[in-house]
């Protein structure tokens, strides 16, 4: 049995770089097998429970398709339709679902201070791996797919490559902070020069900033905070502009969106892309708010890798499940 069997995957920080490399290696292998039509039923008759407190497209479908392609089955559970809505404890859920299947995946991302803690409470009592499908702290399946995508374009050695992680305007809803936080904490481990940019109200959680700084020192890269999207994009190899909410106002989304409207100029358009290198790639976890976060010209243009990035969600998802649920 491999050393990752039974491991939770709640943040990328809790996996060593060697373990992440093992996951990326298997993800590439599974991607090649799928493209070649080679069956890879590594989790025959295994079950993963997919527990959602929030809406999803890529995450739900990458897990459901992924476990099916691995020979198992995914049970979709909307939290509001379960006994959790009536107060069932994370302890009871963790213990009971562990007797029914081989993995528990949870998305709980909209309330700062709740999602990650809830997952850890389930994991404390579960005897099967617990997967973070996005919480208030991290989105580890997304950022692992992002890392895979960047390496497919620039090679495995990313030292000295600059990634701009920038806030962008969106009027739709106050989005979680987990994607930018996951990016700054993971990419700094790989020696990238990470520049974070946001308006003054849209700060990230302080301990995640501290972790990014620590990872940059240990990974040999840089972590800086810029005051504008232009400054972040200057000389960048990778640009990743997306919206997120205001930490102190997640209980008051209308106020957050009203403040966000002051920064409509924070949009990734052709003029903004000109600040980055000519060979730079545009990334987004999707769904992107077209016309606000980014123009169609950019997201549909030759520098965009959003669809490759979205596809890699499937392969990294399958890799983590296979490694931790007993398929390898």
Q: What is the pLDDT of residues 241-266, one digit of tens each?
A: 999 999 999 989 899 999 999 999 99
Q: What is the pLDDT of residue 287?
A: 96
Q: What is the pLDDT of residue 327?
A: 77
Number of domains forming the structure of the chain: 2
Residues 165 and 302 reside in one and the same domain: yes
Residues 115 and 194 reside in one and the same domain: no
Q: What is the pLDDT of residue 204?
A: 98
CATH number, domain at 266? 3.40.50.1370
For residue 80, being part of any structural domain is answered with yes
Query: Is residue 135 pLDDT above 90, yes or no?
Result: yes
Q: What is the pLDDT of residue 30?
A: 98
pTM of structure? 0.97
* Distances from the Cα of 320 to the Cα of 26, 64, 204, 243, angstroms: 9, 14, 27, 27
Strands of 66-176, DSSP E: 73-78, 103-108, 130-135, 162-167
Residues 230 and 317 reside in one and the same domain: no
| pLDDT band at residue 1 using 50, 70 and 90 as cut-offs | low
Structure tokens at 281: 């790639």
For residue 278, being part of any structural domain is answered with yes
**Mean pLDDT, rounded, for 143-166:** 98
**Mean pLDDT, rounded, for 118-128:** 98
**Mean pLDDT estimate for the chain:** 97
Give SS3 for 226.
strand
| pLDDT band at residue 171 using 50, 70 and 90 as cut-offs | very high
Cα gap 98→148, rounded to integer Å: 30
Query: Is residue 172 pLDDT above 70, yes or no?
Result: yes
Q: What is the pLDDT of residue 216?
A: 98
Residues 32-59 pLDDT 10s: 999 999 999 999 999 999 999 999 999 9
For residue 118, being part of any structural domain is answered with yes
End-to-end C-alpha distance for the chain, whole angstroms: 7
Residues 293 and 154 reside in one and the same domain: yes
For residue 70, being part of any structural domain is answered with yes
| pLDDT band at residue 328 using 50, 70 and 90 as cut-offs | confident
Look-up: residue for tokens 């890269």? 221
Give the CA dihedral 69, 60, 319, 110, nearest 10 degrees: -170
**Mean pLDDT, rounded, for 108-114:** 93
Structural domain boundaries enclosing 297: 142-309
| pLDDT band at residue 2 using 50, 70 and 90 as cut-offs | confident
């Amino acid at each position: 049995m491999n050393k990752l069997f039974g491991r939770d995957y709640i943040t990328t920080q809790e996996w060593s770089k060697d373990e992440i490399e093992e996951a990326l290696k298997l993800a590439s292998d599974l991607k090649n097998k799928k493209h070649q039509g080679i069956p890879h039923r590594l989790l025959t008759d295994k079950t993963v429970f997919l527990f959602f407190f929030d809406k999803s497209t890529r995450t739900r479908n990458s897990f459901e398709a992924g476990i099916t392609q691995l020979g198992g089955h995914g049970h979709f559970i909307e939290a509001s339709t379960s006994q959790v809505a009536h107060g069932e404890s994370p302890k009871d859920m963790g213990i009971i679902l562990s007797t029914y299947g081989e993995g528990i995946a949870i998305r709980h991302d909209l309330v700062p201070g709740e999602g990650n803690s809830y997952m850890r409470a389930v994991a404390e009592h579960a005897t099967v791996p617990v997967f973070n499908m996005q919480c208030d702290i991290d989105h580890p399946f997304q950022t692992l797919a992002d890392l895979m995508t960047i390496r497919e374009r620039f090679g495995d050695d990313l030292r000295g490559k600059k990634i701009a992680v920038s806030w962008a305007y969106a009027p739709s809803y106050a989005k979680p902070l987990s994607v930018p936080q996951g990016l700054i904490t993971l990419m700094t481990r790989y020696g990238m020069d990470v520049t974070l940019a946001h308006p003054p109200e849209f700060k990230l959680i302080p301990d995640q900033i501290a972790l990014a700084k620590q990872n940059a020192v240990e990974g040999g890269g840089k972590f800086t905070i810029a005051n504008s999207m232009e400054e972040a994009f200057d000389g960048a190899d990778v640009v990743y502009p997306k919206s997120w909410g205001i930490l102190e106002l997640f209980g008051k989304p209308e106020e957050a969106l009203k403040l966000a409207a002051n920064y409509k100029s924070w949009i990734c358009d052709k003029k903004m892309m000109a600040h980055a290198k000519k060979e730079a790639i545009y990334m987004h976890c999707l769904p992107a708010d077209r016309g606000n976060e980014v123009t169609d010209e950019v997201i549909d243009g030759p520098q965009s890798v959003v669809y490759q990035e979205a596809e890699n969600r499937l392969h990294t998802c399958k890799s983590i499940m296979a490694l931790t649920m007993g398929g390898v």
